[in-house]
Structure formats: C-alpha cells, structure tokens
Copies of this chain bind each other. A is one copy, B any other.
Amino acid sequence: MEEQLSERGKRILEAVIEDYIATAEPVGSRTITRSHELALSPATVRNVMSDLEEMGLLASPHTSAGRIPTDKAYRLYVNSILEAKQNLTAGKRDEIRRRCRMAGKDPAEMLKEASRLLSTTSSYMGVVMAPRMAANVFHQMEFVKLSSHRILAILVSQNGTVQNRLLETEEEIPQEDLVRMANYLNGMLQGLTLAQVRERLLAEMQSEKVRYDSLMAKAIALSEQTIRTDSTEIFLEGQANILEQPEFADAAKMREIFRAFEKKSLLLDLLDRSMQAEGVQIFIGSESPLLKMEGMSLVTSTYLTGKDTVGVLGVIGPTRMGYGRVIPIVDYTAKLISRLLDTE
C-alpha cells in the first residue's frame, strides 16, 4: 500500500479526479483514454487504477462501475498535483473587483456582498466570517437618551463599524451627565482594541478611584454592558446552489445539510479553526470536524486589516469541487477584501 506513486499514476489519478469533478459519475478506464490523450489502452489504465485502488486513492461503488476518488486522493490532488493552474481569468478578476467596489464603504455591506460574490463566481456556497469585534480599535462612544429610562449606547470603531445597544437604567441620568461620561470614557479608551477595552473596564470597576465617583462608576457599568456582546456574524450565501449538485439530489440528504447550516455555531467552529493558519486552507470531506459535512469540502482564506488576521472567508461545496477554479477565487477575494478593509 505504501508504494510510491509513479508519474503515470499521478497523471491517471488526475484524469480520474477531473472527470469525476466534471460529471459526478464514476469514471471508467475507457472514458479516460478517450478524454485525456494518454497513449495507453484501457487495459493498461485499468491495471494502474487497480494499483491506485490498492493505495486507497480510488474506490469503486460496485464491481462493474467506474471508480471514484477518495478523500485521500483529493488531498493528494490539491497538495501536489494541482499547481500551475492557479490563476484567475482577467474577466473574473474584474467582476470580483467591480462588485466589491459597488458594495460601498460600509464593512458589513461589503462582507455580505463578498459572500454573495463567492457564491456566484464559484457556483457553490459563499461564506464570510465578519471580523471579531474584539480586534477592532475603539474610536468613540456616545450615549443617546431616548426617554427617561432608556439610553442608546453607540460604540464606533476606527474602521467604521458601529455597535449599538439599548440600555435601561433604574434612575434617570441627565443629558449633561451622559455627555460627561462619554467624554471620560473616550479619553480613557482611546486607541485600545475592544478586547483591551473590555479588560480595562473590568479593571476599573474594581479600582478605588471609581468606587467613590458614582457617575464614573455608572459610566463604566454602562459601557461594560455595551461591549459585552461579541457575537460574530457569519454571512452564508448561495445555499440554493447546493441544490444544483447531483450528489445532493436526494431530499433527505439535502434536509440534513440545510439543518446543519441553520445552526451557525457549527460553521463558526469550523471557520474559527481555519483562522489558526494564514492563507488558503482546504478541508476535505472527512477531515472536517463537522460530521454532518460528509461529502462536502471547504476552501478558506484568512483576510487581514493592516497586518492582523481579522477574519476568514471561503467557499463550501461538494468534495467533488472544482478546486483549481475555486482556490484562486477565494484567494483573490480574500486579498481584495483585505485591501478594501484597510483603513487608509
């Protein structure tokens, strides 16, 4: 089983994978000799395929069908066969650029558009995880009094992201006090990341100084409430594309997939994981920690602002996915988003 893969073996494996990607049907020896001009007869190809099966790279659904690549084969394929093809046509590149630009400056809008874009250009599902709030840099905070006991807290980050939260207070706080509180906080928190802001606030809550200044104590408490939520948003677009894939034609399978993606927490785990490493990463079928993801693969890339990794985006599709086509799309989109998000 551990015999090294010959050059010819590689060629044939590549052919099988590419045919399978194109047709979703088990590939036979015959088909290969016809479509890829290897100067070999079907019989020879059969022998090689038999070896590949031995090595755990191919599998046959039953004796008299063609063969299907295993997850291991896809892994090998993306790691060491698929290489030179990694560039995008100028047209696609333009389209991506144009549509990202069009989405405007608002970060959330832009990310959503990016997700939609990943989905349409790849014809699978696009997914974008918004930057963790915690990595944003604090810029300014405001308290707006809505009615006697309702205050709207607004937190602005340097990149233009806005977080807001409706707070209820027991006692009425006069408008001037709200302004003073905001000024105090803005002075204190200038330039910190929100993660640091959080720590700072918790520390302040303990400190002597604040204890005796009830206004400041209130200010700290209110802002702590505001910053508490760190729910990471995920934009998942193009779910309907998945319905197009023949391997999910079966209604039961489809249902399972949709259910799985309805719980975004699963997806979140997965994306969090791919944020560990920089650049393009590929999770193939069973490698993914999501059991439900059987038969699906994920191509991701991290994106950055400045030099900090802040988020991750990618494409989810069947294991039988056009990696050669998808990888550059993901890669390029991530780089573009990084550039656009960068606070100039």
Q: With a CB–CB cut-off of 8 A, which chain B residues contact A164?
A: 106, 162
Q: Taking CB as reference atom, which chain B residue is nearest A250?
A: B251
Copy number in the complex reads 2
Q: Are A144 and B140 closer than 8 Å at their CB atoms?
A: yes
State whether the Cβ of A230 lies closer than 8 Å to any Cβ in chain B: no
Q: Are A146 and B165 closer than 8 Å at their CB atoms?
A: no
Q: Taking CB as reference atom, which chain B residue is nearest A248?
A: B251
Chain A 222-262 near chain B by CB (<8 Å), digits 1 or 0: 00000000000000001110011000011100110011001
How far in angstroms is the closest Cβ of chain B from A25?
A: 17
Chain A 131-163 near chain B by CB (<8 Å), digits 1 or 0: 000000001101010110010101010111010
14 contacts between A and B (CB under 8 A): A104-B166, A105-B168, A139-B144, A142-B144, A144-B156, A146-B159, A152-B160, A162-B164, A243-B251, A243-B254, A243-B255, A249-B251, A251-B254, A254-B254
Q: With a CB–CB cut-off of 8 A, which chain B residues contact A158?
A: 146
| Contact status of A258 and B244, CB under 8 A, knowing A146-B139, A150-B160, A152-B156 | no
| Alpha-carbon separation in the docked complex, A344 to B105 (Å) | 35
| Alpha-carbon separation in the docked complex, A106 to B226 (Å) | 12
